[in-house]
Amino acid sequence: MISIQLPDGSAQELPDGSSSADLAAKISSRLLKEAVAAEVNGKVVDLALPLTAGDSVRILTKKDREALEVLRHSCAHLMADAILRIFPQAQLTIGPVVDDGFYYDIYLPEGKITPEDFPKIEAEMAKIVKENHPFRRCAATVDEANEHFARYRAIDGGHNKFKMELISEITKRGEGLTFYKHGEFIDLCRGPHVPSTGWLKNHKLTKIAGSYWRADAAREQLIRVYGTAFFSKEDLDDYIKFLEEAKKRDHRVLGEQLELFMMEDVAPGFPFFLPKGAILWNTLADYMKGLVRRTGYVEVKTPLVLSEQLWHTSGHYDNYLENMFFTKLKLRDPKDASKIFDNVVEERPMAVKPMNCPGHALIFKHRLRSHRELPLRIAELGLVHRRELSGVRHGLFRVQAFTQDDAHLFCTPDQIEEEIMRLMDFFKEVYTAFGLDDVRVELSTRPAKSIGSDQVWHLAETSLQRALEARNLPYQLNPGDGAFYGPKIDFHIRDCLKRSWQCGTIQLDFSMPERFGCHYVGTDGAKHTPVMIHRACFGSVERFLGILIEHYAGAFPLWMSPIQAIVIPVSDKFLTYADDVYSKLSAAGLRMEINRKDDRLGYKIREASLQKVPYAIVVGEKEVESSTINVRTREGVELGAMTLEAFVAQLPEWRK
RNA sequence: GCUGCUGUAGCUCAGUGGUAGAGCGCGUCCUUGGUAAGGACGAGGUCAAGGGUUCAAAUCCCUUCAGCAGCUCCA
């Protein structure tokens, strides 16, 4: 008999050679039915693996995150099996689990797999699920491995060199080889797996992408087939619904439909804000400017183009060159105006700023500062330009020019804690204002390679920690993940689809004040170097706006809505009255529009709803006679007839 | 930057060697209407750009540019 420890601290006695499955069976038949895998001494393994005395075992069911990963990895095998049945010349490489599913990288010497093949592959997968093959684990030697991989022999007569490469690496590390077999299919795999293919009913292939063996562009081109799997059909359906919902909320699509912004080939990665988008942008900017003014900042404006020399001082030239735009002078030949010289040697070459901090450092050292001025909080909605590789640009999320709600706080080390607490309050106020209450905080501390004294690092890190604790903010600690010049706090917010976005960041900097020679005169009359705190709350106004478009699905709260109400005359007989309503509400401060088109009422209502205008104001004969308006919300609720005053009085918060 | 896919009217897309199409939007007219699509007519295109193959190219090939997905990147 062996004794097995359970998570609740109790123990179970089992016969020698028993497995986790036997353990589950002994606890309850229901648990055996629901068991997916087991965590033995902290490692996830197959249910069928024999246990040894003293093991501590947790049975994993579909409720456990680890179990879902096991399921998905098994599903990767299932998919690989199906693909090999359809494409016998395919060679498997690796097939790991990723965030919301799995993929398998496949080498296909010729031909290709496209999404059109999905139905065929899925049909084959369904067949294998129905056959309900058990997953069997087998340990093997290298020779046996060769044997196992006989079926992967390439058409040219060679072995599957990808698997052979993996095998030789594993062997070199002195680890044993394990294979997993279901039906005729066998694959090199660490495991574990679900008990049988019957578990893998709820799957879906999602997309195809290119990849390279070992992520090395010089090596073989592979086809990456993505899929996902869930324990229940409901979960799979929910996931498919989530994908559809996310697609509907795509800010690039809504940006087009709601006429918020546009992109042009002549300016890739540089959005054009259309009138309605510009209202949104300005609403965010105005909100931020107001808050900054109320919370003890000074606001500045710094130049876009600065001498290259400055970027040497700041260190960006050495570390950030690839992401910077540089100006390039041209000259016309004085004798021949059609001749242009491109390669002009510039006396003072200039660069477009990718960050605002050097400018703010220059403002700080513009004159001698006293300790009495600290903390000095310098804020700027600063437009920065950053070159991005062509493949990474994405709507408003990743652009080449954007406006940071940037600020740099110059303070003494003693003031760090107080400033961080103020920032926590500031950030919280902002996110709450936009209905983003789900905020996750990460604290990253000193990396191996860093500058600054132990003393300053220690003070800074404990200040950050104390501030987080004082504000009761749970946080995730990322030891060693800070920048070389200081620790940082990142804010990740979740939108209404539970997607996480990194927005705010607070970074301490012990380096830049030094580089720029920023000093203040202390109480002792001597010069001291301040600490610099970089911080941005939106991050980028453009990106934050993109997040809000998706968060609200274009139906912004009243105070942000580009058009807050639209006047719809029942027919053009009532245009005069409609104009009157329009002017009065505009004068009251509401952003108004008026629909003068010769369409039927129903059509204009529909248009207003699709444009997500919060209120449609209908005016016709009845309204003219009683000097009222008839109000309908974009959700389709009829608020009925009311006076203009009553309408304005009942509005929820409509300016911030 | 890499790989794959895509680029046709303002938008969404069909057309895949032989006279450029639809729906929506836009304009004009009819209609003067009561809370999510009334009707008729009309304008609108160097088929991304450049080169090649061909009697003939939106269609096939090459190059470039841009977009999309993934990868890589984002101290």
- String of DSSP letters for A457-501: HHHHHHHHHHHHHHTT--EEEETT-SBTTB-EEEEEEE-TT--EE
What is the structure's pLDDT at A111?
66
Range of the domain at A19: 2-61
Q: Which residue is nearest to nucleotide B67 (CA to C1')?
A: A265
Of A183, A82, A204, the closest CA to residue A135 belongs to A183
Q: Is residue A539 part of a domain?
A: yes
Q: Is residue A266 part of a domain?
A: no
Q: Is residue A261 part of a domain?
A: no
Chain B footprint bases within 7 A of protein beta carbons = 1-5, 11-12, 26-27, 29-38, 65-73, 75
> Which residues are CB-contacts of A524 (< 8 A; sequence separation ≥ 6)?
none
pLDDT, average across residues A630-656: 94
Q: Name the catalytic one among A55, A105, A406, A495.
A: A406
Spacing of A384 CA from B74 C1' in Å: 15
Of A598, A580, A640, A599, the closest CA to residue A616 belongs to A640
What is the structure's pLDDT at A613?
97
Shared domain for A144 and A134, answered yes or no, is yes
pLDDT, average across residues A634-651: 95
Average pLDDT across chain A, whole number: 88
Which band of pLDDT confidence, cut at 50, 70 and 90, is reported for residue A648?
Answer: very high
The answer, yes or no, to whether residue A627 has pLDDT greater than 90, is yes
Q: Which residues pair with A182 in a beta bridge?
A: A185
Q: Which residue is nearest to nucleotide B70 (CA to C1')?
A: A209
Q: Known catalytic residue: A182?
A: no
| CA–CA distance, A95 with A75 (Å, rounded to integer) | 10
Q: Which residue is it, tokens 């599957």?
A: A160
H/E run at residue A320: helix A316-320
3-state secondary structure of A90: coil
Domain count, chain A: 5
H/E run at residue A531: strand A531-540
User: In the complex, which nucleotide's C1' lies nearest to the CA atom of residue A210?
Assistant: B3
Spacing of A253 CA from B17 C1' in Å: 35
Q: Which residue is nearest to nucleotide B2 (CA to C1')?
A: A217
Of A372, A642, A325, A634, the closest CA to residue A523 belongs to A372
Of A207, A101, A156, A83, the closest CA to residue A92 belongs to A83
What tokens appear for A41 in the block? Answer: 């001494």
Q: Name the catalytic one among A534, A535, A604, A612.
A: A534
Of A304, A313, A297, A338, the closest CA to residue A537 belongs to A297
What is the structure's pLDDT at A587?
96
Angle A500-A504-A507 from CA coordinates, rounded to 5°: 130
What is the structure's pLDDT at A142?
62
The answer, yes or no, to whether residue A397 has pLDDT greater than 90, is yes
Q: Which residues pair with A441 in a beta bridge?
A: A475, A491
Shared domain for A438 and A387, answered yes or no, is yes
In our burial notation (b when 16+ CB lie closer than 10 A, e otherwise), range A142-174 reads eeebeebbeebeeeeeebbebbbebbeebeeee
Q: Is residue A83 part of a domain?
A: yes
Q: Known catalytic residue: A408?
A: yes
Per the CB < 8 A criterion, the answer to whether A364 and A528 are in contact is no
Which band of pLDDT confidence, cut at 50, 70 and 90, is reported for residue A421?
Answer: very high
CATH of the domain at A612: 3.40.50.800
What is the structure's pLDDT at A156?
42
The answer, yes or no, to whether residue A386 has pLDDT greater than 70, is yes
The answer, yes or no, to whether residue A161 has pLDDT greater than 70, is yes
In single-letter form, the type of residue at position A436 comes to L
Q: Name the catalytic one among A55, A251, A360, A404.
A: A404
| CA–CA distance, A9 with A40 (Å, rounded to integer) | 14
3-state secondary structure of A442: strand
User: In the complex, which nucleotide's C1' lies nearest to the CA atom of residue A222?
Assistant: B3
User: In the complex, which nucleotide's C1' lies nearest to the CA atom of residue A395?
Assistant: B67
Q: Known catalytic residue: A534?
A: yes
Radius of gyration of chain A (CA): 32
The answer, yes or no, to whether residue A404 has pLDDT greater than 90, is yes
Tally the C-alpha atoms within 13 A of residue A139's C-alpha that lie toward its C-beta: 4
pLDDT digits 0-9 by tens, A299-355: 999 999 999 999 999 988 988 888 999 988 888 888 888 888 887 888 889 999 999
Shared domain for A515 and A406, answered yes or no, is yes
Shared domain for A408 and A500, answered yes or no, is yes
> Which residues are CB-contacts of A81 (< 8 A; sequence separation ≥ 6)?
A124, A125, A128, A182, A183, A184, A185
Shared domain for A423 and A401, answered yes or no, is yes
User: In the complex, which nucleotide's C1' lies nearest to the CA atom of residue A215?
Assistant: B71
According to DSSP, the β-strands at A500-509 and A91-92 are: unpaired
Of A486, A481, A540, A480, the closest CA to residue A512 belongs to A486
Q: Name the catalytic one among A203, A408, A446, A612.
A: A408
Q: Is residue A260 part of a domain?
A: no
> Which residues are CB-contacts of A355 (< 8 A; sequence separation ≥ 6)?
A314, A316, A320, A384
Shared domain for A179 and A282, answered yes or no, is no
Shared domain for A331 and A389, answered yes or no, is no
| CA–CA distance, A374 with A518 (Å, rounded to integer) | 13
What is the structure's pLDDT at A574?
95
What end-to-end distance do the CA atoms of chain A give, in Å? 71
What tokens appear for A194 in the block? Answer: 């679900």
User: In the complex, which nucleotide's C1' lies nearest to the CA atom of residue A635?
Assistant: B36
Spacing of A210 CA from B3 C1' in Å: 5
Out of A222-236, A441-455, A564-578, the most confident range is A564-578
Spacing of A48 CA from B50 C1' in Å: 64
Percent of chain A beyond pLDDT 70?
A: 96
Angle subtended by helix axes A118-131 and A65-86, to nearest 10: 110
Q: Which residues pair with A508 in a beta bridge?
A: A533
CATH of the domain at A510: 3.30.930.10
Shared domain for A146 and A128, answered yes or no, is yes
What is the structure's pLDDT at A84?
83
Shared domain for A112 and A213, answered yes or no, is yes
3-state secondary structure of A231: coil
pLDDT, average across residues A358-380: 95
Question: Which of A317, A352, A387 is at the close of a domain?
Answer: A352
| CA–CA distance, A449 with A457 (Å, rounded to integer) | 13
pLDDT, average across residues A147-171: 64
Q: Is residue A128 part of a domain?
A: yes
What is the structure's pLDDT at A153?
45
Which band of pLDDT confidence, cut at 50, 70 and 90, is reported for residue A154?
Answer: very low
pLDDT, average across residues A62-82: 86
Spacing of A84 CA from B53 C1' in Å: 39
| CA–CA distance, A273 with A282 (Å, rounded to integer) | 10
Q: Which residue is it, tokens 């409901």?
A: A234
Ramachandran class of A539: left when φ > 0, alpha when ψ lies in -120 to 50, beta otherwise: left
Q: Known catalytic residue: A422?
A: no
Range in A163-172, A368-377, A535-544 the model is least confident about: A163-172
Count of residues for chain A? 656
Spacing of A392 CA from B66 C1' in Å: 13
H/E run at residue A167: helix A161-172
In single-letter form, the type of residue at position A492 comes to H
What is the structure's pLDDT at A306?
95
The answer, yes or no, to whether residue A206 has pLDDT greater than 90, is no
Question: Which of A552, A580, A605 is at the close of a domain?
Answer: A552
Determine what percent of chain A falls in helix, strand and coil, rounding each to the nearest 5: 40, 30, 35
Q: Is residue A177 part of a domain?
A: yes
Spacing of A651 CA from B34 C1' in Å: 24
CATH of the domain at A237: 3.30.980.10
Position with higher pLDDT, A609 vs A136: A609
Spacing of A599 CA from B28 C1' in Å: 14
Spacing of A97 CA from B73 C1' in Å: 22
Range in A2-16, A264-278, A384-398, A586-600 the model is least confident about: A2-16
Q: Name the catalytic one among A75, A189, A357, A537.
A: A357
Q: Name the catalytic one among A77, A488, A551, A632.
A: A488
The answer, yes or no, to whether residue A157 has pLDDT greater than 60, is no
Question: Which of A205, A229, A245 is at the close of a domain?
Answer: A245
Q: Which residue is nearest to nucleotide B30 (CA to C1')?
A: A598
Q: Name the catalytic one among A386, A543, A551, A612.
A: A386
User: In the complex, which nucleotide's C1' lies nearest to the CA atom of residue A217?
Assistant: B2
Shared domain for A334 and A386, answered yes or no, is no
What is the structure's pLDDT at A217?
67
Q: Which residues pair with A527 in a beta bridge?
A: A521
The answer, yes or no, to whether residue A269 has pLDDT greater than 80, is yes
Q: Which residues pair with A633 in a beta bridge?
A: A615
What tokens appear for A463 in the block? Answer: 């200040």
Range in A57-66, A239-248, A280-289 the model is least confident about: A57-66
Position with higher pLDDT, A479 vs A167: A479
Range in A119-133, A178-192, A316-330, A636-650 the model is least confident about: A178-192
pLDDT digits 0-9 by tens, A444-453: 998 888 888 8
Shared domain for A325 and A406, answered yes or no, is no
The answer, yes or no, to whether residue A67 has pLDDT greater than 80, is yes
Out of A1-10, A41-50, A587-596, the most confident range is A587-596
Of A99, A171, A183, A162, the closest CA to residue A139 belongs to A171
Lateral strand order in the sheet of A177-182? A136-140, A177-182, A185-188
Q: How far is CA A589 from CA A414, A563, A566, A655, in A?
A: 45, 12, 14, 9
In single-letter form, the type of residue at position A517 comes to G
Per the CB < 8 A criterion, the answer to whether A531 and A509 are in contact is yes
Q: What is the per-residue DSSP string for A588-623?
A: TT--EEE---S--HHHHHHHHHHTT-SEEEEE-HHH
User: In the complex, which nucleotide's C1' lies nearest to the CA atom of residue A600?
Assistant: B33
Spacing of A328 CA from B48 C1' in Å: 28
What is the structure's pLDDT at A374?
92
pLDDT digits 0-9 by tens, A516-553: 999 999 999 999 999 999 999 999 999 999 999 999 99
CATH of the domain at A31: 3.10.20.30
Q: Known catalytic residue: A386?
A: yes
| CA–CA distance, A315 with A329 (Å, rounded to integer) | 24
What tokens appear for A490 in the block? Answer: 């990142």
Q: ipTM value, please give it.
A: 0.93
Shared domain for A309 and A364, answered yes or no, is no
Q: Would you tell me how many other CB atoms lie within 10 Å of the CB of residue A639?
A: 15
Q: Is residue A295 part of a domain?
A: yes
DSSP label of A510:
S
The answer, yes or no, to whether residue A384 has pLDDT greater than 50, is yes
User: In the complex, which nucleotide's C1' lies nearest to the CA atom of residue A624?
Assistant: B34
What is the structure's pLDDT at A93?
85
| CA–CA distance, A91 with A435 (Å, rounded to integer) | 49
